[in-house]
Structure 1
Amino acid sequence: MPSLLEKTTFTLSLLLACQWAVADEVTQEWERLIRKDFKDGCVTHLDPYLLSNGTNGVRGTAWLVQTCEGNFEYGATYLPPDVHPEELERISVRRKQQLRPLAPVQLKRMYF
């Protein structure tokens, strides 16, 4: 018979696995929405550099997007269904700004 510790560990493992699966789906949708802003094949690098996770499930991420049109910053949000139920968009992205032309080394210093 499993001990209480074993049951608790198993339950927490399942919970974390479910959260990671949802997180991966959200990240993939953010990437799809950002890529949709540009013509096919234009996005060369898509890197999250700032992550925020709320205890209520709200997530936010800032992205550095390198494209054939230049470098951009994007913000992305995820709202779980039970948070702000009046919101129609659960997963959204927004272009924040276009960055001045920078060498890859400069971008790396600024964002990573």
Structure 2
Amino acid sequence: MPPLSRIALALTFLLTSTAGAANDEISQEWARLIKADFQDGCVSRLDEYLSTFGSNGVRLGTWLVQTCEGNFEYFANYYPPGVKPEKKRIDVSRTQKLRPLTPAQLRKMYSLKG
């Protein structure tokens, strides 16, 4: 039987994953909500660079958003029905505006592809 630390590490990797091109309904709704924060056509690129899945269906995501107003980080969450009913079921919030970075710096900093 594997030691408990290996099991904990395996669970951590199982529950946390990087997602560069998630194309499910929750990610699509997060992208729509983020784009709604800006004028039409202002968002040039959206990258979900971290996504965490809980065993109870909760999902959290972190996004890099490149826009005509600069680069921003967003936090996103999803709570299935019955889990944390006091919170919005699906929501996004702007966490910070980033200092100006080149595309190469952003790719390296956020482990983005092309």
Shift of 1:24: 1.2
Q: Which residue of 1 is the match for residue 43 of structure 2?
A: 43
Which residue of structure 2 lines up, in the alignment, with residue 34 of structure 1?
34
Could you say which residue in structure 2 is the equivalent of 1:6? none
Q: Identity over the aligned pairs, expressed in percent?
A: 63
- Aligned CA-pair RMSD: 1.1
Query: Which residue matches 2:93?
Result: 94
Q: In structure 2, what residue type is equivalent to 1:37?
A: D
| Cα distance in 2 for residues equivalent to 1:82 and 1:26 | 17
Which residue number corresponds to residue 83 of structure 2? 83
SS in 2 for 1:29: helix
What residue is the counterpart of 2:103 in the other structure?
104
Give the aligned residue type for 1:85. Answer: P
Amino acid at match of 1:107: L
SS of the residue corresponding to residue 84 of structure 1 reads coil
What residue is the counterpart of 1:53 in the other structure? Answer: 53
Provide the C-alpha distance between the structure 1 equivalents of 2:56 and 2:82, rounded to a whole number of angstroms.
9
Q: Which runs of 5+ in 1 are unaligned?
A: 1-22
- What is the identity, as a one-letter code, of the residue corresponding to 1:68? C
User: How far apart are 1:86 and its partner, in Å?
Assistant: 3.0
The structure having more radius of gyration, on CA atoms, is 1
The letter for the 2-side match of 1:93 is: V
For 1:40 and 1:30, the matched residues in 2 are separated by: 16
Count of aligned residue pairs for this structure pair:
89
Distance 2:98 2:44 in 1: 15
| Counterpart Cα distance in 1 of 2:37 and 2:85 | 27
Q: Which runs of 4+ in 1 moved over 4 A?
A: none
What secondary structure, in the 3-state scheme, does the structure 2 residue paired with 1:34 have? helix
Mapping 1:52-71, distance limit 5 Å: 52-71=52-71
